[in-house]
A and B are shown apart, each in its own frame.
Chain A
Amino acid sequence: MATKVMMEALSPTMEEGRLAKWLKNEGDTVANGDVLAEVETDKAIMELVARGDGVLRKRLIGEDTTAPVGQLIGVIAGKDEDISAMLGGAGTAPSEPAASASAPAAAAAAAPAAVAPTPAPAAPAAPAAAAAGAVTDGGRVKASPLARRMASEQGVALSQVQGSGPGGRVIRRDVEAAAASGVASTAAPVSAAAAPAPADTRAAERPAAKSGGKPAAIPVAPGMAIDGDARDVPLTQMRKTIARRLAESIGPVPTFYLTAEIDMTAVAALREQMAASGDAFKVSVNDVVMKAVAMALAKHPECNAHWLGDTIRYHARVHLGMAVATDDGLIVPVIRDADRKGLGAIGREARELAGRARERKLKPEEYTGSTFSVSNLGMFGIDQFTAIINPPEAAILAVGATETKPVWDGTQFLPAPRMRVTLSCDHRVIDGAVGARFLQTVRHLLEHPYLMLY
């Protein structure tokens, strides 16, 4: 039984991967789970493993080549197994003469398809299919004219076909693969039924084409899978209207900002006392802020949420994302169940994750699944700033520097350490008062840090 080697989504946001290095050669015996190649994703270098046993018969892309997620990049099969059907089409013509034994068979299998069936010259390409497949996420599906025609003839919804051409263009081999797998189409049973009466293909294609045009479900990243610790709440009509109207007004994520200045006197004292107890007890301002935010989220699950388009997911567990700047860009490792962890644990975990983030050694599960994020630029002396929400999260807290300022205590100005934080809220999920109450709790915890012991 042959197994396809696909470019897999090795990170939740990965759309394409660069094959950095093949670790198996054509002809090598491989077992399920063996590492076949190293793939560079948008976040890290990941291992691509075999999903079946056999011999790595074909490597369809070279090293340093980028392939979109879902593209066939290799075939695992029995030593002498016929894999021509999997290769199908000229696009997979082998690049080494040595492997050409399988090539004629592959091409021969593809040849009939090359002359795409044109049932009757008069048959207009089913317009329903073209219309249904032409648009996805508000954009046009890029497809070769041939792919477009074949998709319409075979009732394949172009919007559901992963294009393997430049810029994701859907080309002949993609439509053939989709039609063969039946995944992107509901037409297979219909055309099978229509087979005895080929004259009637037009009638048979139309309904199939229509039903094939449903947009793909919103992908759920690993780590976001729902479990007993979260609940999905369908949107009320009012919530839907708020979401739509606010999004129209400001863009995909209608964001508003709440800023608070927090008295850090107590935190400063706390840190001093802890440091006096020994180096092992030193904590940073960031550690304390993370702890306070985590506890505030536990108290305000309405801010610990994901926007999923037609539902809002409220999380019972607090997985705190922590924005880390690396040489390559920004990444957000996650401290899981941060509300249940002590300051020491949070601090150690934060430093350890940040270190590995800078080395690009994070595993996907370590930077996915956060329910809320914190971005701290205080160490750069930034007084205050607004952070951009990391979708599908509903909010992010931007933390500025702690500065000593004169504060009026009722009778006089006294110097006090003050820190400004700004909460960016997705208004579709969080209304102003909800965000304000959350921020109030954060402030209260930071100004009375002993409450975090409770």
Chain B
Amino acid sequence: MPVITYREALNQALREEMQRDDRVFLMGEEVAVYQGAYKVSKGLLQEFGEQRVVDTPITELGFAGVGVGAAMVGLRPVIEFMTWNFALLAIDQVVNAAAKMLYMTGGQFNMPMVFRGPNGAALQLAAQHSQAWESWLAHIPGLKVVVPGTPYDAKGLLKAAIRDDNPVCFLEGEMLYNTKGEVPDEEYVIPIGKADLKREGDHVTLITHGKMVLVALQAADQLAKDGIRCDVLDLRTVRPMDVDAIAESVRKTNRAVVVEEGWELCGVGAQVVDYVQRTCFDHLDAPVLRVHQADVPMPYAKNLEKAAKPDVPKTIAAVRQVLYLDR
């Protein structure tokens, strides 16, 4: 099976879906001539022309609104935000227009569109550009929120997002674009809302998504050296959330640690813990613990940024705690 980057996987998904359906078009800052700020749209302008690969001014609210209008008249826009931090400027279109259109028009208008772009912290991009938005977006009824952590999932889920008749927020990882993984040549689509058990173990469940999948897998590898076997459950989609997969794993291991990139309060992990306590109460042998970003704006200083981010040692410490190995 070919090994390609996350960036190439996204590019393949866009290309294949644009070939498959001529209603699909890509719009955003620098997507066309510059081939994408992160080169996700490389070659698309050449292949599909400027009608379907559209450079915009720096007007997030404006082009997000154009996308909503296009979706209302039957096109299938893919709106790229250079990062989800910039999408804050467009959030009225995402939350108040796209998410509510089907509901408020009494079912007259589907909203078959994708908002996509990198999410979360990279390295030393400071407080305003180092934020994980999935818990904000997942709060909104009407949106779907997809957070792939591997090239395989990125491709299969982006294809599913483009084919979905509802607005999908597709959160990529800036630090993931260069990561590699196996992606088959033949076409596949991954259903939105299905978690994936990335590693199987029976001592503890690590529940995670997005960039933290790699962190959880590395933690699991290190813990395996101590004979501790982790289920690593990649949610892949945080809305809708695969509650059944969570419950199945936790009922097996009796312990869980949730690892996420964002902040603690009202984070995705808070929702996971709620599901776990409701559905697995009699199966829990320890309180569920969470690993997340420190409750501060992301520091610019390298040492402080490292201290603020969730990482492998913090994950291992939490796992050891739920296993009662440390006090």
User: With A90-B255, A107-B229, A172-B254 given, can you name 15 additional A-B contacts, CB distance below 8 Å?
Assistant: A65-B327, A93-B325, A94-B227, A97-B226, A100-B227, A104-B227, A107-B203, A114-B203, A114-B252, A116-B254, A144-B285, A145-B284, A165-B286, A166-B324, A173-B324
A121 to chain B, nearest CB (A): 12
A-B contact pairs, 14 of them (CB 8 A): A90-B228, A90-B229, A91-B323, A95-B325, A97-B226, A100-B226, A114-B202, A144-B284, A145-B281, A146-B283, A146-B284, A165-B324, A171-B286, A172-B254
Greatest chain B CB density within 10 A among A97, A146, A173 is at A146
B282 cross-chain contacts in A, Cβ below 8 A: 125, 145-146, 148-149
- Residues of B within 8 Å of A125, CB to CB, are 282
Q: Which B residues touch A148, using CB under 8 A?
A: 282
Q: Judge if B20 is at the interface, Cβ distance under 8 Å.
A: no
Q: In the complex, which of the residues A91, A96, A145 contacts B325, with contact meaning CB atoms closer than 8 Å?
A: A91
In the complex, the chain A residue whose C-beta lies closest to that of B284 is A145
CB-based nearest A residue for B229: A107
Interface residue? A66 (CB, 8 A): yes
Within 8 A of A (CB), among B104-156: none
A91 to B326, CA, bound (A): 10
Would you give the 0/1 interface string for B61-85, flagging 1 where the beta carbon is closer than 8 Å to chain A? 0000000000000000000000000
The minimal Cβ–Cβ distance linking B122 to chain A, given in whole angstroms, is: 33
Is B204 touching A90 in the complex (CB atoms < 8 A)?
Answer: yes
Q: Is residue A147 contacting chain B, with contact meaning CB distance below 8 A?
A: yes
Q: How far is the CA of A316 from the CA of B203 in the complex (A)?
A: 57
**How far is the CB of B285 from the nearest CB of chain A, in Å?**
4
Residues of chain A lying within 8 A (CB to CB) of residue B251 = 115
Query: Given the complex, which residues of A lie within 8 Å of B323, measured CB to CB?
Result: 90-91, 93
B41 is an interface residue with CB less than 8 A from chain A: no
Interface string of A168-190 (1 = CB under 8 A from B): 00011100000000000000000
Main secondary structure, interface of A, reads: helix
Q: Are B325 and A100 in contact (CB under 8 A)?
A: no
A100 to B227, CA, bound (A): 6
Is there an interface contact between A93 and B227, defined as CB atoms closer than 8 Å?
A: yes
Closest B residue, CB atoms, query A103:
B227
Which A residues touch B293, using CB under 8 A? none
| A90, A114, A165 pick with most chain B CB within 10 angstroms | A90
Cα distance A97–B221 when bound, in Å? 12
> Number of contacting residues on A, CB 8 A?
31
- Chain B residues near A93 (CB-CB < 8 A): 203, 226-228, 323, 325
- Interface range on chain B: under 10, 10 to 19, 20 to 34, or 35 or more? 20 to 34
Q: How far is the CB of B20 from chain A (nearest CB, A)?
A: 44
Q: Which of the residues B203, B204, B225, B286 comes within 8 Å of A100, measured between beta carbons?
A: B225
Which residue from chain A places its CB closest to the CB of B322 in the assembled complex?
A: A90
The answer to whether the Cβ of A164 comes within 8 Å of any Cβ in the partner chain is: yes
B interface majority secondary structure: loop
Spell out B's residues near A (CB within 8 Å): 202-204, 225-229, 251-255, 281-286, 323-325, 327
Closest residue of B by beta carbon distance from A96: B226
Determine the chain A residues whose CB is within 8 A of the CB of B324 once the complex forms: 91, 164-166, 171, 173
Shortest distance between the CB of A401 and any CB in chain B (Å): 46
B286 touches A66 (CB 8 A): no
From A66, A97, A100, A146, B254 is in contact (CB under 8 Å) with A146
Scan residues 111-169 of chain A and give those whose CB is less than 8 A from a CB of chain B. Answer: 111, 114-116, 125, 144-149, 164-166
A430-B16 Cα distance, complex, nearest whole Å? 93
A111 to B228 Cα, complex, angstroms: 12
B189 to chain A, nearest CB (A): 33
Say whether B225 contacts A97, CB under 8 Å.
yes
Distance, CA A90 to CA B320, complexed state (A): 10
User: How far is it, in angstroms, between the C-alpha of A97 and the C-alpha of B225 when the chains are bound?
Assistant: 6
Smallest beta-carbon distance A87→chain B, Å:
10
Nearest chain B CB to A330 CB, angstrom units:
28
How far is A259 from B219 in the complex, measured between Cα atoms in Å?
A: 67
CA distance A166 to B283 in the complex (A): 18
CB distance from B97 to the nearest CB of A (A): 44
Within 8 A of B (CB), among A206-248: none
In the bound complex, CA of A144 to CA of B287 (Å)? 8
Closest CB in chain A relative to B255 CB, distance in Å? 8
Residues of chain B within 8 A (CB-CB) of A106 are 227
Inter-chain contact B327/A166, CB cutoff 8 Å: yes
The complex places the Cα of A299 from the Cα of B285 at a distance, in Å, of 57
Q: What is the CB-to-nearest-CB distance from B24 to chain A, in angstroms, rounded to a whole number? A: 46
Cβ < 8 Å to B, chain A residues 62-113:
65-66, 90-91, 93-97, 100, 103-104, 106-107, 111
Shortest C-beta distance, A71 to chain B (Å), equals 10
The smallest C-beta distance from B272 to any residue of chain A, in angstroms, reads 17
Contacts of B281 in A (CB 8 A): 145
Which among A66, A96, A145 has the greatest number of chain B C-beta atoms within 10 A?
Answer: A145
